Amino acid sequence: MNNWERKIKERRLNLGILGLGYVGLPLVRAFADESLRVLGFDTDPGKVKALNSGRSIIKHIPDSHIRKIVDEGRFEATCDMSRMKRTDAIVVCVPTPLTENREPDMQYVIGSAQTIARYLQRGRLVVLESTTYPGTTREVVAPILELTGLRAGTDFHLAYSPEREDPGNKQFNTRTIPKVVGGLTSRCREMACRLYETIIVKTVPVSSLEAAEAAKILENVYRCINIAMVNELKMVFDRMGIDVWEVVAAASTKPFGFSAFYPGPGLGGHCIPIDPFYLTWKARQYGIATRFIELAGEINTNMPRYVVAKIMEALNAKKKSLKGSKVLVLGLAYKKDIDDLRESPSIELIELLRDKGARVDYNDPYISKTHEQRRHNLGMQSRRLSGKMLSSYDVVLISTDHSCYDYEWIVKNAGLVVDTRNATAAVTKYRHRIVKA
């Protein structure tokens, strides 16, 4: 431990980060800013080339920041996994998606562990950050690493520390969000805490790997269930002629006992639509049904269909059919002011609208064109907004409420606006053109 702490204090520690996406790259920035030498590993040659040339791949991390840490020799990206042999610690930040059957898809975690095992050295620290079910680090990662003949907790050190990134959040960032840390042994935990204490305002040590894994699942289950509740209330209140956003705003004035959650067109991002079902899958192994989680998932996944039904109703009131209608979707990202479209409800909305015969375009100032995803390939480019262009659509659907949109101008020029985010709340004119969904 003394040698470990000395390496950190003297900034001689060589850190490897496996996975340079929305979790890995912010970590790279934070550690490199503290003068640690960071080697970033990724399987995407295009991403590696961009980063080494000083170009960021994430909107909220500027090119200038990447260029600075590259030019000063504090960061390098590579596809050469054999260079892991030169690292003192490896932090794993790879995706944990669901399969078509909504079960954990562990291929990236397993593949990462197999890669690390090929180059694992005695005394190294391996930390998994990918959100997953309790037991993953001990039951999946450790056995793969121990195929080397080295023993976890004795010959090398193993920890779990869940990522808590929130892209686009101006109030909290990698440094200011407390870091939960669990270790296979107390020494593993302490080594991981010392590493993270170089960049994080506060570490939160817990008793085990499983407690750390479960903490992240709890965070996302909490949000999933509460969002489902308010989405259900939206549908109920809509039928009663009550504005759910007004109700939430009124309830939020209570200074205790209430936390505001807001409805939307569906869940997006890598965490809330996916992670609760990791626990559902694991709970089945213990003979327990997670009824709250499954009901919440059913409500939330149905929201894009609810929005499409509202569009059909709005068009019907104008004696139009959805089939053959032109629909413009505003916002492709899963939430406002970011360029992240992982699990975005906008994608499903576009596919549902197309399936019903609508002609669909989109505009997003942060996503100029779509790229092929695991289960989607829209093959679309963002359309430039103009008053004439807006007026040419039968429906303008606000799916993501980017701050840069001028909603007064949008409503003025569009014949019909379907608003899923209450983005038009402050619009004073042409209210008859707005339908909330």
Catalytic residue list: 271
Half-sphere exposure of residue 245: CA atoms within 13 angstroms, side-chain side: 12
Q: Are strands 179-183 and 157-160 parallel, antiparallel or unpaired?
A: antiparallel
Q: In Å, how far are 95, 157, 210, 409 from 183, measured between CA atoms?
A: 21, 8, 9, 54
To 5 degrees, how large is the angle CA 46–CA 383–CA 54? 25
Handedness of CA 250, 252, 257, 258 (dihedral sign): positive
Q: What's the rounded Cα separation, in Å, for the pair 285 and 56?
A: 42
Type and span of the H or E element at 9: helix 2-9
Residues 206 and 404: beta-carbon distance below 8 Å: no
Cα 338 to chain center, whole Å?
11
| Torsion from C-alpha of 339, 343, 347, 352, nearest 10 degrees | -160
121-139: b (≥16 Cβ within 10 Å) or e: eeebbbbbbbbbbbebbbe
Helices of type H across 241-263: 244-251
* E strand spans, 177-331: 179-183, 203-205, 326-330
Neighbours of 148 (CB within 10 A): 16
Q: What's the rounded Cα separation, in Å, for the pair 319 and 65?
A: 53
Residue 420 CB contacts under 8 Å (≥ 6 apart), including other chains: 264, 265, 307, 397, 398, 399, 436, 437
